[in-house]
Structure formats: C-alpha cells, structure tokens
Amino acid sequence: MKFNFGSSLAVAFALAAGSLSAVPAHADKTANYRFGVWKLHQRYDTFTGRSLCTLRAEYVDFDGHVLSFHLNGNPPTVDADFRINAGPVEHASDYQHEVESKLIFYHPSPLSSRDDGVLRLPAELFARAAFADVKATPQAHSKHFNFDGFPEALAYMKAHGCDIDETRN
C-alpha cells in the first residue's frame, strides 16, 4: 500500500477547516476594559442581543446594587464600620435591610449571621467615592479600598446598556 503524504495532509486540512465552520455564527464577543483600579469584563451575547458585564477591583465586587468588600481573615462583619472619602464613620448594620432587599443571587440569610469576611453595602453610596476605609470589627485594623475609576466605569456601563452578569456567583 502506497502512502500519499500530500493527500493525507489535504484530508487533514479539510477536516480541520470543516470543524472551524462548525463554530456558530452567533459567537459571543468579549472585551476587557480598565477604569483606574476597576476591571470591566463585557460580554455581548449575539443570540440575545444583551451586553453582560462584571465589574471588580482588588477585593471588591460590584453586582449592580451591592458592593462586596472581601476582608482578610474572614472576620464577622456584623459590627463593621466604614467611611467614604474620609467622611463620617458609618455603621454597616444601618444598611443591613437595604442590602438584604437588593441581594439577588446571594444567600438569603441575614447579614448578621454571616462570618465569611465579606461586607456588603449599597453600591449607590460609593457612586462618587475616591476611596473607602472599612473596619470589620472594633479590634481590627481598617482596610483601605481605592475607588479610582469607579464613577467612569459606572458611566460606561450605563452608556453601553450593560446588564450585570449574575452568573459569576
């Protein structure tokens, strides 16, 4: 039996080309952007016509309604205090009901039972923030969060019709 390398290569190429044509014409398109310290991942679903976005910075996630601050060591956050732009100290518990009413895909248990080291606060509080400081417990050191670029990221998301990608959690 004679082996023809040229025709075998042609067959392999044809098979590979055929498999490439199996990629759907409606493949999602993705883009990544940076706004200061914030990373925006945008996925345009060509099938539904929706633009889905995730926005996060180091140790902070945004879900459209709530900002989740991930604190080191998983401290309980029921007694957490925070301040925005060196303003007055506020108590996270004052916003517990508002946050719980906006939680779409998190656990439905009250924030007071959480000890996962994640402090969740209403996102609208931070719309004009340059930075925020969070103190999980009276004994803990405060943690500084930079919000450079957050207002610009929000403006981009609004201008481009971004829906929040709730599949990430």
Is residue 73 assigned to a domain? yes
What pLDDT shows up at residue 14?
40
Say how many CA atoms lie within 13 Å of 83 toward its Cβ.
Answer: 7
Is residue 22 assigned to a domain? no
Is residue 90 assigned to a domain? yes
List all residues 6 or more positions away from 118 whose beta carbon is below 8 Å from its beta carbon: 68, 69, 70, 71, 77
Q: Is the dihedral of CA 127, 94, 114, 163 positive or negative?
A: negative
Query: For residues 126 and 166, what is the distance between their CA atoms, to the nearest angstrom?
Result: 20
Is residue 106 assigned to a domain? yes
What pLDDT shows up at residue 7?
41
Torsion angle, CA of 91/57/65/69, rounded to 10 degrees?
-30
Q: If you average pLDDT over residues 105-129, what whole number do you get?
A: 71
Is residue 104 assigned to a domain? yes
Burial class (CB in 10 A: 0-12, 13-18, 19+), 153: buried
**CB of 48 closer than 8 Å to CB of 29:** no
Is residue 133 assigned to a domain? yes
Q: If you average pLDDT over residues 115-123, what whole number do you get?
A: 84
pLDDT tens, position by position, 41-91: 999 888 888 888 999 999 999 988 889 999 888 888 888 999 999 999 999
Residue 166 confidence class, pLDDT cut points 50, 70, 90? low
Residue 143 confidence class, pLDDT cut points 50, 70, 90? very high
Residue 37 main-chain phi, psi, to 5 deg? -90, 0
Is residue 21 assigned to a domain? no
Give 106 or 138, the one with higher predicted confidence: 138
Q: Please give the model's pTM, rounded to 2 decimal places.
A: 0.73
Q: Which domain holds residue 160?
A: 27-168
Distances from the Cα of 148 to the Cα of 52, 115, 165, angstroms: 22, 28, 22
What pLDDT shows up at residue 75?
84
Is residue 107 assigned to a domain? yes
Domain count, the chain: 1
| AA identity, residue 88 | P
Distances from the Cα of 128 to the Cα of 20, 38, 56, angstroms: 47, 14, 16
What pLDDT shows up at residue 26?
54
What pLDDT shows up at residue 115?
55
Q: Which of 66, 48, 43, 45 is nearest to 56 (CA)?
A: 66
**Out of 3-7, 41-45, 101-105, which region has the weakest mean confidence (pLDDT)?**
3-7
